[in-house]
Structure 1
């Protein structure tokens, strides 16, 4: 299966797509201003102090900017420019910041909408300029697709190894590689990692559920009874947070509808691997990849939402895969609204269930860690492939050097975003060297 994108992926949005992006950015900024939801999982725990008046809006904005800037400029923008597909880091992290920054409720949607307009009207110009340069680093960045798609396939294997040991991890690895080979042989037009990921995630969940069920049977046999104190402060906090989110259920339903419609338009991908699959028109495979990611984030999003009183802009991210598969935006809006309604109403129940399934909860942690590990390697390797494509050995020297310099400086740019950012900076430097007659672009 080819994983190379057609050169010159552009941003020729229709009017409906432009209006959807602008309206959704306005809505997400408004919701962030009210501290009802943010996209950045790292910011959400800080919102409890803001909601309860123990910290200021400016301090919370500073936290959001500090945790988000690297992902916006180092990952969101490069991924969008290299795939021609929008992503949540480019759309929703800035609206987190703008919404929290806004001193007035009415100003937040204006700032968010303005950012949406910058994205839909500005990206195409930047894309065209970059493709016209002597060193076309955006086309070179499409080299990232192969390592991202194939290495991402292994995240269930890493999670199983970390949680259940090397033997079971090795078995899962052999099964996944065999399924990738089988898929490439029998179904060459299908994303080769799709079936392997499905089996890997099912193996992980099956092992975790089996372990929890065995433990509960053992506890019952031993007469162990779990007691929850009547005045448990965490239970009280969780209940208050869930009630706060339920009060704004209609607003969350509008948000779910908007995110689902954007996904249905196929100009948006919810993850790194998904963006490349959407760009190649493989919507079913993209839905499958984002569906598996959900298992790694439900416990995190549910517990942080119950602890802070602020939800995720994309909820449990189920609206992504559902949106990709919807036949039209009207149905996507209805289904997206219903999905968000169920998620918000079920938060308390999900929190209680997770409390009774510690191994499943641990699996979520291991899944998220494994996703991060596989993507870090894939993005670094893909960025070096892009560097080689645009500048040969000199390109690798510059991009790899910038990445290592970032490491030596204590990672002012977050690790996940450092390599794509280095490709863009390296591309600019190679163009400058070309104009100084010190460099001849690599042909290919």
Structure 2
């Protein structure tokens, strides 16, 4: 499979696609204004303070901007410009900020729609200008696709090794490598890492479920032994059914009935209130799910770094597969932060991404997105309870997220250096690598994952300036 994109990766959308993006941006700004959903997982925990009136709009918006700016300008914009496919960092992180900052609902809608218009009308012009420069850094950035696609394949291997040890990690790595080689040999027209990722994620989940089942069986056996050793329980005051202990378990201060789960877990009342708050706005969430699923179906949007390049290459089923695997890494994070804060994710549990890619037409995509988002909102409390009973599966999601970050950081850095070499040879590598190292030395004012693509853009601009000063001759490609 060729991993080099065409040089003409333009953000040139139809009128229908442009209007869809604008309306969706307006909608996401509205739900952010209402503190119902934000895209940035780091912003979500701060929303509880805002909802309960302990933080102002300006302060919350400042937090959202600080957590999101690096991803917007360092990752979202470069990825869109180099792949020709929109992404959530470019669309949804700015509407998080604009929606929270807006003092009125109508203003949030206007600001969100304006950002959507800027994206669909402005980026293509910037893209055309960049391609006409003596040093075409956007075409050079397409070099990032190969490292991102293939190194991303290894994230299940890292997750297994971190959670279950080096031996199982090595076994998973060997299985993945064999599947990549087999796919390249037997099915050259599909993405070589698709089967490998499937096997890796299934092995991780299998290890985690097996560990949880074994632990639960051990706990049951220990409980049975303890019960047998204690002898039969006695009824009466403070004892079995009908005693004072049972009454206390069901009655709170003043004789008020208290649900048993609230007494067992102080967080249960907060979780219950948050879930009820989200269910109250179910129609709005269904509209949001329909919109996100719709732009995914149009194949102008990718939910991740690897996904964007896969969609740009036309590998739609592989893109759906990749984003489906990512879901396992983010369900516990999104579900628990939503239950704790009362604020959901803009794309929910992100299932709407892969479903949207595979839908045959926009109408079915909108219906499917609405249904999926409704099921997620209605089942949020149940998801939280299930996760509480499967600690190893919950831990697996954390290891998956960490592994995804590690693999992408390496892939993006390596791809950015390849782009620097295409732009300016050794001088390009010196500038881009130097900017990345300066960012590290300064305490990472730009987040690590976004620092390298941002350095490519800055380096590309600087090389063009040097060319105009007759101090640099572009590398012949």
2:340 is aligned with 1:312: no
Contact kept, 8 Å, 2:85 with 2:302, in 1: the verdict is yes
What are the superposed Cα offsets for residues 234-262 of structure 1, whole Å, 9 maximum, x if unpaired? 00000000000000000000000000000
- 1:145-164 equivalences in 2 (<5 Å): 145-164=145-164
2:209 is aligned with 1:209: yes
The residue number in structure 1 matching 2:134 is 134
Q: How many residues align?
A: 443
Q: Distance in 2 between matches of 1:233 and 1:97?
A: 32
Q: TM-score, normalising length from structure 1?
A: 0.99
SS in 2 for 1:78: helix
What are the superposed Cα offsets for residues 104-149 of structure 1, whole Å, 9 maximum, x if unpaired? 1110010000000000000110000000000000000000000000
Q: Distance in 1 between matches of 2:62 and 2:428?
A: 35
- 1:47-126 equivalences in 2 (<5 Å): 47-126=47-126
The residue number in structure 2 matching 1:186 is 186
SS in 1 for 2:105: coil
Q: Distance in 1 between matches of 2:139 and 2:13?
A: 20
Cα drift, residue 228 of structure 1: 5.6
Q: Distance in 1 between matches of 2:8 and 2:138?
A: 8
Which of 422, 428, 439 lines up with 1:389 in the alignment?
A: 422
Cα drift, residue 11 of structure 1: 1.4
Which of 318, 322, 337 lines up with 1:285 in the alignment?
A: 318
The residue number in structure 1 matching 2:470 is 437
Q: Distance in 2 between matches of 1:233 and 1:56?
A: 27
SS in 1 for 2:223: coil
Cα drift, residue 204 of structure 1: 0.2
Cα drift, residue 233 of structure 1: 2.0
Cα drift, residue 232 of structure 1: 2.8
What are the superposed Cα offsets for residues 150-200 of structure 1, whole Å, 9 maximum, x if unpaired? 000000000000000000000000000010000000000010000000000
The residue number in structure 2 matching 1:46 is 46
Contact kept, 8 Å, 2:329 with 2:397, in 1: the verdict is yes
The residue number in structure 1 matching 2:200 is 200
Contact kept, 8 Å, 2:261 with 2:268, in 1: the verdict is no
The residue number in structure 1 matching 2:231 is none
Cα drift, residue 229 of structure 1: 6.0
Q: Distance in 1 between matches of 2:198 and 2:137?
A: 34
Contact kept, 8 Å, 2:98 with 2:111, in 1: the verdict is yes
Structure 2 alignment gaps of length 5 or more: 227-259
Cα drift, residue 18 of structure 1: 0.4
Cα drift, residue 231 of structure 1: 5.7
Q: Distance in 2 between matches of 1:7 and 1:54?
A: 50
SS in 1 for 2:263: coil
Q: Distance in 2 between matches of 1:356 and 1:326?
A: 34
Q: Distance in 2 between matches of 1:99 and 1:231?
A: 37
Q: Distance in 1 between matches of 2:57 and 2:266?
A: 26
The residue number in structure 2 matching 1:321 is 354
The residue number in structure 2 matching 1:174 is 174
List structure 1 runs of 4+ shifted beyond 2 angstroms: none
The residue number in structure 1 matching 2:252 is none
The residue number in structure 1 matching 2:30 is 30
The residue number in structure 1 matching 2:255 is none
The residue number in structure 2 matching 1:260 is 293
Q: Distance in 2 between matches of 1:194 and 1:319?
A: 19
Q: Distance in 2 between matches of 1:232 and 1:386?
A: 52
CA RMSD across the alignment: 1.0
Q: Distance in 1 between matches of 2:446 and 2:43?
A: 17
What are the superposed Cα offsets for residues 301-330 of structure 1, whole Å, 9 maximum, x if unpaired? 000000000000000000000000001000
The residue number in structure 2 matching 1:332 is 365
The residue number in structure 2 matching 1:16 is 16
Contact kept, 8 Å, 2:262 with 2:268, in 1: the verdict is no
Structure 1 alignment gaps of length 5 or more: none
The residue number in structure 1 matching 2:393 is 360
Q: Distance in 2 between matches of 1:433 and 1:230?
A: 68
What are the superposed Cα offsets for residues 44-80 of structure 1, whole Å, 9 maximum, x if unpaired? 0000010011111111000000000000000000000
Q: TM-score, normalising length from structure 2?
A: 0.92
Cα drift, residue 8 of structure 1: 1.6
The residue number in structure 2 matching 1:398 is 431
Q: Distance in 2 between matches of 1:385 and 1:198?
A: 28
What are the superposed Cα offsets for residues 252-283 of structure 1, whole Å, 9 maximum, x if unpaired? 00000000000000000000000000001110
2:446 is aligned with 1:413: yes
2:310 is aligned with 1:300: no
SS in 1 for 2:7: coil
**Bigger Rg, which one:** 2
SS in 1 for 2:23: helix
